[in-house]
Amino acid sequence: FNTEQFGQHILKNPQVAQSIVEKANLKPTDIVLEVGPGTGNLTIKILEQAKHVTAVEMDPRMAAELTKRVQGKPEQRKLDIIIGDFVKADLPYFDVCISNTPYQISSPLIFRLLSHRPLPRVCILMFQREFALRLVAKSGSTLWSRLSANVQLYAKVDYLMHVGKNNFRPPPKVESSVVRVAPRDPPPPVRFEEFDGLGRILFSRRNKTIHGNFMAKGVIPMLEKNWRTYCSETNQMVEDDVDMKAKVEKILEETGNTENRAAKMDVDDLLKLLYAFHEVGIHFA
């Protein structure tokens, strides 16, 4: 294990740790998941307020240090430590997730939390500044991206605070930010792969027109292939010489999106376009 590979930058400023935990508005009945507790600077504060904490830590030496820290104290009974990789670990039920994890697992972390069932009430997460800013970006802004759309499809994301590098030991190379991710419950009734599949096309050049992106190499043949699969799965007859390009152009025209750009479309605009394609059997996954 080494500092860089596992992103072991310990949060040494107790005020910052305290305010991160306070942002979760924990109730005494809450069951909390913490990812990458390290030596437990956040864990100790979470244990003061929650009913139970499960902490997933990959480095056994860190886990041992955390175990030692609660040993013989009343908090010991409230803490379970899973030693292993969060990405592969079986997760227990939790109401809230609080985490300051290495930034290499930012994407898997957020998507795993959003696909967990039942959905957590809220997640308070520390990320590299640039990643956090993309999570909260609004359509029309320069940072609005496929990541922003995919996360905002499932959650309301708010920027909470800036945490400078000197609050960590050793200080990382990058600046950090804390965000609140509140999952939409129930989640919108759309398959992630479909929404993301449309996003892949539209955001491949976010400032290009939607029409232009659909005409990029390989897109129309891919949609035709998906369409044939969909038709055969739903027992529909298909013509041999279908004009997929014309079908796509008709939808873009009817929904007023031909000259639109992903850079300006919000989650609702994207969903409306996706549903219009689905109505005629065109799928993105």
Q: Note the residues at the interface with ligand SAM (CB under 6 A).
A: 6-11, 35-38, 41-42, 56-59, 62, 85-87, 100-102, 105
C-alpha of 207 from chain center: 23
- Residue 19 beta carbon to ligand SAM: minimum distance, rounded to whole angstroms: 13
SS (H, E, C) 143-189: CCCHHHHHHHHHEEEEEEEEECHHHEECCCCCCEEEEEEEECCCCCC
**Among residues 65 and 266, whose Cβ is nearest to ligand SAM?**
65
Residue nearest ligand SAM (C-beta atom): 36
**Among residues 62 and 248, whose Cβ is nearest to ligand SAM?**
62
- Residue 56 beta carbon to ligand SAM: minimum distance, rounded to whole angstroms: 5
**Among residues 62 and 198, whose Cβ is nearest to ligand SAM?**
62
C-alpha of 85 from chain center: 17
- Residue 66 beta carbon to ligand SAM: minimum distance, rounded to whole angstroms: 9
Contact assessment for residue 176 and residue 184, using Cβ atoms and an 8 Å cutoff: no
Query: Which residue in 99, 23, 20, 21 sits closest to 58, CA to CA?
Result: 99
Structural element, H or E, at residue 226: helix 219-233
- Residue 278 beta carbon to ligand SAM: minimum distance, rounded to whole angstroms: 36
**Among residues 102 and 197, whose Cβ is nearest to ligand SAM?**
102
